Amino acid sequence: MTVLIATSCGVDNSPDAEEAGRAQITTALNNAVRHGYPGAQAVITDNGHTWTATAGVADIATGEPFADDARLRIASNTKPFVATVMLQLVAEGKVELDAPVERYLPGVVHGPGIDGNRITIRNLLQHTSGLPEYAAEFGAPPKPGQLAGLTEQVRWGTTDIAEAIRNALTASADFEPGAQWAYSNTNYAIAGMVIEKITGNPIGTEITYRIIEPLGLRNTYYPSLDEIDIRGPHPKGYTEIGGARVDYTSQNVSWAGAAGAMVASGADLNHFFIALLDGKLLPPAQLAEMTNVRPTGVDTNWAYGLGLARITMSCGNELWGHTGGLSGTVTYDGVVPTTGRAVTIVLNQDLMDDRYHAGSRALDTAACSAP
């Protein structure tokens, strides 16, 4: 199934309509700031035209606002890129979705109640493997779409993902493969290992060659293993430690790997999701697999396919995309096919308490206001 993006026919793209939409979205961003976020940004792409709205600050010390082309750590929004690469390999006949992981990574996926002969590539991409969460060893267990907080050693050092997975798989399986849905970053860490084994290249190289370069995503990249800073213009990213807000912008995200290491701008994320859903990155059969969703059992408005979520908004519009968060940042992204609008919401502090819903409300406003 190809999810076609709507054309501009019958859509009001006048300056007055854009200003009205901008006002609604800015109000929602201001609400997020009132809930405690230092700053918030919406990047909107309507039928090829991209514009931004902001609230609060990108840097508390200087009061500087978000740059229109600001880059950010997109965390779990890395997963749709990884799933796309895997499905391209499926289309090329190099991977079978329903083949066991054991075929590609012999002896790797095993532990208490864990058998790589029974867990498929589909289970990994769909979060139905039952594998325990590897990111939990680096800090507090994550929420869906959010990677965990870091120890200081992990924040500054280079993580061996294979070792982290070995450690995680000493824990028991959460459930039988395919029995239910549960978000686990372990799925995508292993999916990245599969891609590397099949192609002989680092996952970042495959994402660059297969997606970033063909789409011309100039503000998107997969960091090298020793990078701690963000290239180009970017907001400061904050977190709370011991009740105090601290600058957490610099960090080594090698521990996040294929589950959440990438950096991108909002405009590039919009471009990626539009191209993906318009069939420019995957053949129809593989896009149909990606968009074949199942209920998560966690949120009735969420259904999950293969690295792609279908999120039902309060107005009934369906947004296809993902969310992501790690220490210092939260992002919400996706496309509403019926209107052609692509949305990225950026918050420069990680999810905490009641603030969790401020960002999702901003996403809802942007997805429901008329282009």
Angle between the 185-199 and 78-91 helix axes, to the nearest 10 degrees? 40
Which residues are tagged catalytic? 76
d(CA 234, CA 228): 13
Q: Where are the domains of the chain?
A: 15-368
pLDDT digits (tens, 9 = 90+) for 207-218: 999 999 999 999
Query: For the purposes of burial, counting CB atoms within 10 Å of the CB of 320, is it exposed (0-12), middle (13-18) or buried (19 or more)?
Result: buried
Contacts of 123 (CB under 8 A, 6+ apart): 129, 130, 177, 178, 187
What's the pTM?
0.92
pLDDT digits (tens, 9 = 90+) for 95-130: 999 999 999 999 999 999 999 999 999 999 999 999
Average pLDDT over residues 25-47: 94
pLDDT value for 66: 96
Higher pLDDT pick, 48 / 307: 307
Is residue 70 within 8 A of residue 266, CB to CB? The reply is yes
Model confidence band, residue 157 (pLDDT cutoffs 50, 70, 90): confident
Is residue 346 within 8 A of residue 43, CB to CB? The reply is yes
CATH architecture, domain 15-368? 3-Layer(aba) Sandwich (3.40)
Contacts of 284 (CB under 8 A, 6+ apart): 1, 2
Which helix (H) or strand (E) is 241 found in, with range? Answer: strand 238-241
